[in-house]
Structure 1
Amino acid sequence: MRKLARDLGVELASVPATGPGGIITREDVLAYSARSEPRTLATYAGDDSPWLSDAGTGSSVTPDGRQTRVPVKSVRKRTAEAMVQSAFTAPHVTEFHTVDVTKTMKLVAKLREDREFKDVRVTPLLITARALLLAVRRHPDINASWDEAAQEIVYKHYVNLGIAAATPRGLVVPNIKDAHRLDLKGLAQGLSDLTATARAGRTTPADMSDGTITITNVGVFGIDTGTPILNPGEAAILAFGAIREQPWVHKGKIKKRWVTQLALSFDHRLVDGALGAYVLSDVAKILEDPAQALVWG
């Protein structure tokens, strides 16, 4: 497997494992490599350089061959409008935390072997989602929105957990309705259903409405962290970075541990630095030691 990854230029630590006991399979490596491949470029007669051309997009190359113009489709247009509105309306602040998630990785491996979870996909994102839900329960002020028209702050007594999903049609952010009411297996099923629907292009406006807080899993692209833009109508978004084996001081000794980075962006009108830090710290504590969820859960 290491030779295949080396031949394809893939870093094994960045590949999500789907095999028994958390083993990275040949299919995992090939799928990750395929997602990392750049889009195929099309060439045109008399043109020395390739230009983007995707069948079915209605794209056209200018007469001089120097540009490709692609119509903005409805999903991408709505995404662009929402991101611009969010970026220029809500004052964004982002806080970061580097976390040892070795115990989380061991828990994921155990759950994959558990008969109760045999019909659902178990990933570190599942534990992160559970951790965020518990952090929201402990700090409910983070689960809010700013109503500019009414000049009110709206605190939500439910959590519709958004998961940012990259699709061929563009970025969509469907949410798991009333995610706070789900047990771990129910949350796993909700994540699986949500991502499958998004990838199939069947996400509806209702699926994306009334979100209260969001996770964006940039780690699936091998990215360590970022400064995510808030989903409109929400006060916070958590970026979950790639999990890598790194040297880490553990019990006074330098050891090889699984490490990731978390980034929490929030609306500074609603969330001050202390509240953001409390929420981010709680998520990190559960990822460092999932047993903490039993204490807070």
Structure 2
Amino acid sequence: MTIREFKMPDVGEGLTEAEILKWYVQPGDTVTDGQVVCEVETAKAAVELPIPFDGVVHALLFEEGTTVDVGQVIISVQTEAGAAAEAPVQEAAPAVAAAAPVADQDGLAGRGGRPAAARQPVLVGYGVSTASTKRRPRKAAAGAPAQNGTAPAAPAAPVLPAVPAQPAGERPLAKPPVRKLAKDLGIDLASVVPTGDGGVVTREDVHAAAAAALAPQAVPAEVAVAAPSAAPAVQAAEAPASARETRIPVKGVRKVTAQAMVGSAFTAPHVTEFITLDVTRTMKLVQELKDDPDLAGLRINPLLLIAKAVLVAIRRNPDVNASWDEAAQEIVLKHYVNLGIAAATPRGLIVPNIKDAHAKTLGELSASLSELVATARDGKTSPADMQNGTITITNVGVFGVDTGTPILNPGESAILAVGAIKLQPWVHKGKVKPRQVTTLALSFDHRLIDGELGSRFLADIAAVLEHPRRLITWS
């Protein structure tokens, strides 16, 4: 028999480390080429790692929650004598880096009795940044290999005390976000009664188990559009009632979001302008479009028309759609619009964008928004979906907030915050009447957009929403 080692691969994001979120195997389990053995989290995304050879798990060399440098051995596998030497670290990387989320009919790939070969790497994303991060591993498991790269002579004990061992073919079926939720709540998936199709444990099942155990509820699974400057919710550890403080490590999405926002706030000179407007006609148009049989099955809401208004205003003011190239000292005008939609999800804040939104019809834009929301809710937004945005919309109104001063998404020229739409007294045709009113806040990079251009752009957005027929006359 031969001991082979699987190292933490470079998942193709330009990062140097990853945190082990979840082990899907334990010492003594049989693994096959392409089978997912663990889920890791980088500063950009959570990724499931497939192992590139067959064998029996000899040892897990790091515990869950440990940050591991790329190139370090994370698992050793006992293989048949005469097997090929260890594959290069890059052997598994292309599949992980390039794969889009692929699922079978119930949204899960082969684990728990399904063929392991059918399993595909799944990317679930949150927040992006061009800066890489680097830190030392916090903790290594006992029995880690020596510098010569050889595995321990004797099998190491399991390093997963939090999750009871189970037979390989009887592990509960659940999607990675659901597994992460169960881990955060301290719920053993094996104790959860599944209600999903094919015996799949759903998020609701985990919440029910947590409630039964009197555990605190986690962040709801609903996806809400949120401000990029807002930090993601933190799942704090339980503390004694007498505790006066709780310390939470800054890592993952919170760390990357903080770095990106600090970099943006102190690199791009922000200017924020506000306008309060009557959107009664837009709200009436939303209802008319919902009743239009030609748009049956599409997601029609105020955000759709706000997005369309932004695209129309960009067409009238193309210079707002630009970026600043510090190295070349150039302004880069974009002849396309990748429209970002800030979203708060169970994994934290993400800002995916609709590629080439400027070229989409209203129906196509609606379909793209629906897909963006559904993908974010399922935790399957990939890093590519969050790159190369040009302008972002953040809808803080869903939280009942009137407006805000949003911070630019790094590399973008502007961000529009949409406040709550409320019935308010408004002067309409010389009389005070109840009207649907909202406030828009536009933050922009003053290196790219001066006060005149920013004001005209914001005024055009407001004009379209006050008189939505301009969606036709100005397009």
Same fold (TM over 0.5): yes
Q: Which residue of 1 aligns with 2:294?
A: 116
CA offsets per residue over residues 107-165 of structure 1, 9 Å max, x none? 00011111222212111111000000011111111001111112111111100000010
Give the RMSD, CA atoms, in angstroms. 2.4
Given the superposition, is the C-alpha separation of residues 221 and 58 from structure 1 closer, same or farther in structure 2, using an over 3 Å criterion? closer
- 3-state secondary structure, aligned to 1:190: helix
Q: Which residue of 2 aligns with 1:47?
A: none
Amino acid at match of 1:274: E
CA offsets per residue over residues 230-272 of structure 1, 9 Å max, x none? 0000110001110000111111111111000011000001100
Q: Which residue of 1 aligns with 2:318?
A: 140
Amino acid at match of 2:364: G
Q: CA deviation at 1:168?
A: 1.9
The equivalent position to 1:151 in structure 2, one of 329, 337, 342, is 329
- 3-state secondary structure, aligned to 1:162: strand
- 3-state secondary structure, aligned to 1:121: coil
Taking only the aligned residue pairs, the percentage that are identical comes to 65
Tell me the distance in 2 between the aligned counterparts of 1:213 and 1:236.
5
- 3-state secondary structure, aligned to 2:342: strand
Given the superposition, is the C-alpha separation of residues 68 and 243 from structure 1 closer, same or farther in structure 2, using an over 3 Å criterion? same
Amino acid at match of 1:88: F
Q: CA deviation at 1:72?
A: 3.4
Q: CA deviation at 1:69?
A: 2.8
Q: Which residue of 2 aligns with 1:248?
A: 426
- 3-state secondary structure, aligned to 2:460: helix
- Correspondence list, 1:147-296, <5 A: 147-296=325-474
Amino acid at match of 2:273: E
TM-score by length of 2: 0.50
Amino acid at match of 2:437: V
Q: Which residue of 1 aligns with 2:284?
A: 106
Amino acid at match of 1:114: D
Q: Which residue of 1 aligns with 2:305?
A: 127
- 3-state secondary structure, aligned to 1:265: strand
Tell me the distance in 1 between the aligned counterparts of 2:324 and 2:361.
29
Given the superposition, is the C-alpha separation of residues 63 and 219 from structure 1 closer, same or farther in structure 2, using an over 3 Å criterion? closer
Tell me the distance in 2 between the aligned counterparts of 1:100 and 1:53.
38
- 3-state secondary structure, aligned to 2:402: coil
Given the superposition, is the C-alpha separation of residues 249 and 54 from structure 1 closer, same or farther in structure 2, using an over 3 Å criterion? closer
Tell me the distance in 2 between the aligned counterparts of 1:296 and 1:219.
26
Query: RCO (CA 8 Å, sep 6+): is it higher in 1 or 2?
Result: 1
Within the alignment, does 1:90 sit opposite 2:306 as a pair? no
Tell me the distance in 1 between the aligned counterparts of 2:252 and 2:320.
31
Amino acid at match of 1:133: L
Tell me the distance in 2 between the aligned counterparts of 1:83 and 1:286.
30
- 3-state secondary structure, aligned to 2:337: coil
Q: CA deviation at 1:58?
A: 7.6
Which has the greater radius of gyration? 2
Gaps of 5+ in 1: 1-39, 41-51
- Shifted more, 57-66 versus 197-206: the winner is 57-66
How many residue pairs get aligned? The number is: 250
Tell me the distance in 1 between the aligned counterparts of 2:391 and 2:405.
15
- 3-state secondary structure, aligned to 2:299: coil
TM-score by length of 1: 0.79
- Shifted more, 58-67 versus 149-158: the winner is 58-67
- Shifted more, 93-102 versus 75-84: the winner is 75-84
